[in-house]
A and B are shown apart, each in its own frame.
Chain A
Amino acid sequence: EAQVTQNPRYLITVTGKKLTVTCSQNMNHEYMSWYRQDPGLGLRQIYYSMNVEVTDKGDVPEGYKVSRKEKRNFPLILESPSPNQTSLYFCASSPMNTGELFFGEGSRLTVL
């Protein structure tokens, strides 16, 4: 089954404790991206990647890191989480340049 898998789905953590949200897709898509979604603000892009070892900042990259060492994986790293990073996070992938995004199920993160 074609899918984008994120883990963990739910996480409660404390300020400053490093965490990683994993994202994996099995569709051989070149393009992957991370979004956060907050009430009233819609989907905001954090980082995206057009292929292995190619990443770039989206609209709200501060406080986040990403890596793309393999085509299928695109982890999101929060080196020192803060309460303003409490949000619902989505990973998405698409075939190159189509714009047709396939989303993971989401990861709800709470930073205390």
Chain B
Amino acid sequence: QKEVEQNSGPLSVPEGAIASLNCTYSDRVSQSFFWYRQYSGKSPELIMSIYSNGDKEDGRFTAQLNKASQYVSLLIRDSQPSDSATYLCAVKTGGSYIPTFGRGTSLIVHP
């Protein structure tokens, strides 16, 4: 059974701080990793994809992947109240068409 684990939170950070969201996965052959953002009552939206070890930066977002330790994280720099949402981690193996989702971490950025 493939598992993707996230702390449900809420993670509360002040405006301007760095928010760090973490995700661990059980399937060692996982190859593709995704972060989705979901505002309350809305649909998930893909914000980052990462496929190889290391960091990938996109604006204020940085995804970090460590396959040896089986974790992937998302850093949000200069957090804004508009970043308040649930962040879903998803993991996919090369042989599967189906990403497995974690249950999400709720992030609250307070002014």
Question: Number of residues in B with C-beta < 8 Å to the partner?
Answer: 20
A106 to B44, CA, bound (A): 10
A31 to B99, CA, bound (A): 12
Interface residues of A (CB under 8 A from B): 31, 33, 40-43, 45, 48, 50, 58, 90, 96-106
Determine whether the beta carbon of A99 is less than 8 Å from that of B92: yes
Q: How far is the CB of B48 from chain A (nearest CB, A)?
A: 10
Please choose the segment from B20-28, B55-63, B69-77, B101-109 that sits at the chain A interface, where 4 or more of its residues have CB less than 8 A away: B101-109
Determine whether the beta carbon of B43 is less than 8 Å from that of A90: yes
Residues of A within 8 A of B101 (CB): 42-43
Q: B46 within 8 Å of A by Cβ?
A: yes
4 A-B pairs with least C-beta separation: A42-B103, A103-B43, A99-B92, A99-B99
What are 12 A-B interface contacts by the 8 Å CB criterion?
Answer: A33-B98, A45-B98, A48-B97, A50-B97, A58-B98, A90-B44, A96-B97, A99-B99, A100-B49, A101-B36, A101-B44, A106-B41
What does DSSP make chain A's interface, helix, strand, loop or mixed?
A: loop
A103 to B39, CA, bound (A): 13
Determine whether the beta carbon of B46 is less than 8 Å from that of A100: yes
Residues of B within 8 A of A104 (CB): 43
A58 to B92, CA, bound (A): 14
A102 to B47, CA, bound (A): 11
Q: How far is the CB of B31 from chain A (nearest CB, A)?
A: 9
A42 to B42, CA, bound (A): 14
A84 to B108, CA, bound (A): 30
